[in-house]
Amino acid sequence: MTAFTWSQVVARRLERHALSAPAPAADLPAVVSAICGAHAQVMSAAETSIGVRVAGVDRTHVREALWTERTLVKTRGPRGTVHLLAAADLPMWVGALGALPSPPYATGANALMTPDQVDQVVAALGDALADAELTGEELTAEVVARTGPWAGERVMEAFQDKWPRWMQAMEVATRRGAMCFGPNRGRQATYTGPARWLPGFTPLPPGEALPALVRAYLHAYGPATSAHFAKWLAIGQRWAQELFDDSDLEPVTVDGERAWVVAGDTEVPAKRPRGVRLLPYFDAYGIGCHPREKVFPGRAAERALNRGQAGNFAVLLVDGTVAGIWHQRRSGRKLAVTVEAFGTLSATRQRALQEQVERLGEILEGTPTLTLGEVTVGGHA
């Protein structure tokens, strides 16, 4: 059984996330694929996640890859959250996510529709979006016309408001490949059909897609356990263990603790993990890497986690470990960046941090300034 040290695991993950050295600009979609997608509930965070990993890329390049070249697609990925995924991976994602149990908020006593009504809504969405980009309001009219008035009843609790009933099926519809995001129309989001991003789009059968997703996860975040995978994908532990059992994996140890990698994938970089990086909130590295107590040691667990959950704070990564948090405040083209380090930064690391701040300005097309001091705003601010 191959034995890894924690340092080797960190070096391996940094290399595969293009955080030890940025990838060439031509590899932008491949990098997004390698990290299993960039969280994109807020687009600037996704643009930063990608830009810090890909040399010379700024937010305009990311938007071109998404809306013009269509090598990326904006849709729901792991945990049902909005991600930018590599368009080439869409058959795997839809084949895998479509096979998972329905989200808890849409089942049992919480369900606003019967399974048959959900199927009707999904079919209506697929039909309406096959060759169109529609806003939520426009979709309501289309879905009601294809299903019935019940679909438009405003009964879904959402942000101190009520949304039409059909919207509870949006995540299921996305999982099944009936819809994804289209380009914004002004300030309004639009939705469209995935085949417009990937001509000839057909989801992989679950028997192929689920093991492929396990392999993709372990390539980026392994060695890992089924419990780590369950948390990343927001599925039950039993489901995750069954998926690990059905995949071609190999047991290893990390400092004596048992974990798993894709069979035969035991290579490690020759060099120790090195480097300073500024990662935005909900960056893939912090969300997917475990054990949490090693990625967020000591003070980092107190300041950069929220009840043990990663992602709510943008983090300073030093040699692959969370060593601070940071926040940016934008005013026009000015970016005021405050970094709170959880210890003293050497002169070399301060220079590297300044370079990262300048890179952040390039990615977000702004003029940055750096202040070392306490971050006083809360998470996800």
Cis before residue 291, ω within 30 degrees of 0? Answer: yes
User: φ, ψ for residue 142 (rounded to 5)?
Assistant: -70, -45
Show Cβ contacts of residue 17 under 8 Å, excluding neighbours closer than 6 positions: 34, 35, 53, 220, 284, 285
Lowest-confidence range among 66-75, 109-118, 203-212, 241-250?
109-118
Half-sphere exposure (CA, 13 Å, Cβ side) for 280? 23
Q: Tens digit of pLDDT for each residue in 140-174? A: 999 999 999 999 999 998 877 899 999 999 999 99
Find, among 130, 44, 40, 32, the residue nearest to 72 by Cα.
32
pLDDT of residue 55: 98
Helices 206-221/237-245 angle, 10° precision: 100
Distance (Å, whole) CA 188 – CA 230: 33
Half-sphere exposure (CA, 13 Å, Cβ side) for 223? 25
Cis before residue 223, ω within 30 degrees of 0? Answer: yes
Find, among 25, 26, 61, 63, the residue nearest to 43 by Cα.
63
Q: Tens digit of pLDDT for each residue in 304-351? A: 999 889 999 999 999 999 999 999 999 999 999 999 999 999 999 999
Cis before residue 211, ω within 30 degrees of 0? Answer: no
> 43 or 110, which is more confident?
43
pLDDT of residue 316: 98
Question: Is it the case that residue 362 has pLDDT exceeding 90?
Answer: yes
pTM (2 decimals)? Answer: 0.95
Distance (Å, whole) CA 212 – CA 209: 5
Q: Which two tokens stand for residue 275?
A: 């480097």
Q: Tens digit of pLDDT for each residue in 268-292? A: 999 999 999 999 999 999 999 999 9
Distance (Å, whole) CA 308 – CA 301: 7
pLDDT of residue 381: 66
Mean pLDDT throughout 227-245? 95
Q: Are 249 and 263 in contact (CB under 8 A)?
A: yes
Show Cβ contacts of residue 238 under 8 Å, excluding neighbours closer than 6 positions: none
Q: Tens digit of pLDDT for each residue in 65-87? A: 999 999 999 999 999 999 999 99
Its sign, for the CA torsion 45, 362, 58, 27, is negative
Q: Are 327 and 377 in contact (CB under 8 A)?
A: yes
- Amino acid at residue number 360: L
Mean pLDDT throughout 130-145? 96
